[in-house]
Structure 1
Amino acid sequence: MNKTKVLFLCTGNSARSQMAEAFLRKYAREKFEVYSGGLDAKGINPYTIKVMDEIGIDISKQASTPLKDYLGKKHFGYLITVCADAEENCPTFPGVTKRLHWAFEDPVAFEGNEEEKLNKFREVRDKIEEQIKKWLAE
């Protein structure tokens, strides 16, 4: 069976798009082939790995991938941007059937102590999971 390819895109591919990739894989692996990428991939943020691990999802093997690694090489049924920067600066992506934008706050940009940062990552994680579930129910 041919699965629909989905690309989640954000600026650094360090938090939001990584979480979205993991949640879609968890809830609909049988329907979608899931990827994530960044306009300027920076590696996965350690807090992202930690807060996903807290809910039983291991993303330590996921990769932070530059968008250029996909351009002209993969054709996606869905391109879903998860930050305003990616939405505004994503080049025209050939072969995309449907483009969606889900704006989530950047937990990496949040300033505070370690516990406050973890709480921000958890808050964003939970919003992304809720959005994935809502989208799959539609």
Structure 2
Amino acid sequence: MYSTLQSYIDDLDNLVNEIPDQRKQKLAKIADYIRSKEPAKLNFICTHNSRRSHLCQIWAATLAEYFGVESVETYSGGTEATAFNSRAVAAIERAGFKVENPGGENPKYEVSFDDESKPLICFSKTFDDSHNPEKDFAAIMTCSDADANCPIVPGAEKRFSIPYVDPKESDGTSKEKETYDERCRQIASEMYYMMSQV
């Protein structure tokens, strides 16, 4: 792990106690699913695949590596495609990830947690895009809108709901950076707890 990212992750253990018991129960059920599958394919889904679903995909992959959880594949998608939001990208860079931006309207960012592992390719797409699994995966709903609008995710063998408040609500305000960093840290701490339970 990059040193800044390693320090960030080391601090997450202190945040686990702040996770409500109800959330821990939901995360533990996903951990049970991961233990039961080889490989465990996790597709994190929100409306635009621009913020929360990407943060979950990136942190789940990173913390699976951190805890030595093998055979986990992480994906993300939306009910529609836009772009991986630059504010969310900046938040993961502040956390210590290395991000390469090739440019374009919907860039295929390369996100790395170390120099040895293959980077995660992160760009906005629908949950049924060809880059995502077609079957035998868990659909993990990360926003209430996607949860309500996708009662059935074709091909998913399991469906979980762990909605997060959209950091988009702070866009263009003085609280923008703080809100994105808070959501990044919340998602990181919950993915940390989830992978620690596998």
- TM-score, with structure 2 as normaliser: 0.62
SS in 1 for 2:175: helix
Paired residues of 1:49 and 1:58 also in contact (CA < 8 A): no
- The whole-number CA distance in structure 1 between the counterparts of 2:89 and 2:186 is 16
Matched, 1:66 2:118: no
Paired residues of 1:11 and 1:38 also in contact (CA < 8 A): yes
SS in 1 for 2:156: coil
Letter of the structure 1 residue corresponding to residue 195 of structure 2: L
Letter of the structure 2 residue corresponding to residue 47 of structure 1: R
> Aligned residue for 2:184?
125
Paired residues of 2:41 and 2:133 also in contact (CA < 8 A): no
CA offsets 1:82-124 (integer angstroms, 9 cap, x no match): 00001101152233232111111101132453x5111111111
- The whole-number CA distance in structure 1 between the counterparts of 2:162 and 2:153 is 17
Paired residues of 1:5 and 1:75 also in contact (CA < 8 A): no
Structure with larger Rg: 2
> Aligned residue for 1:39?
79
- The whole-number CA distance in structure 2 between the counterparts of 1:86 and 1:13 is 10
Bigger shift: residues 85-94 or 3-12: 85-94
Structure 1, unaligned stretches of length 5 or more? Answer: none
The count of corresponding residues between Structure 1 and Structure 2 is 136
Task: Provide the aligned C-alpha RMSD in A.
Answer: 2.2
Matched, 1:88 2:148: yes
SS in 1 for 2:154: coil
Letter of the structure 2 residue corresponding to residue 3 of structure 1: P
Matched, 1:108 2:168: yes
Letter of the structure 2 residue corresponding to residue 86 of structure 1: A
Matched, 1:25 2:61: yes
CA offsets 1:37-91 (integer angstroms, 9 cap, x no match): 0111210110111010111224532111112425x96114311100000110115
- The whole-number CA distance in structure 2 between the counterparts of 1:112 and 1:65 is 24
SS in 2 for 1:92: coil
SS in 2 for 1:36: strand
Structure 2, unaligned stretches of length 5 or more? Answer: 1-37, 100-108, 111-121
SS in 1 for 2:88: helix
SS in 2 for 1:66: coil
Paired residues of 1:4 and 1:31 also in contact (CA < 8 A): yes
- The whole-number CA distance in structure 1 between the counterparts of 2:92 and 2:133 is 29
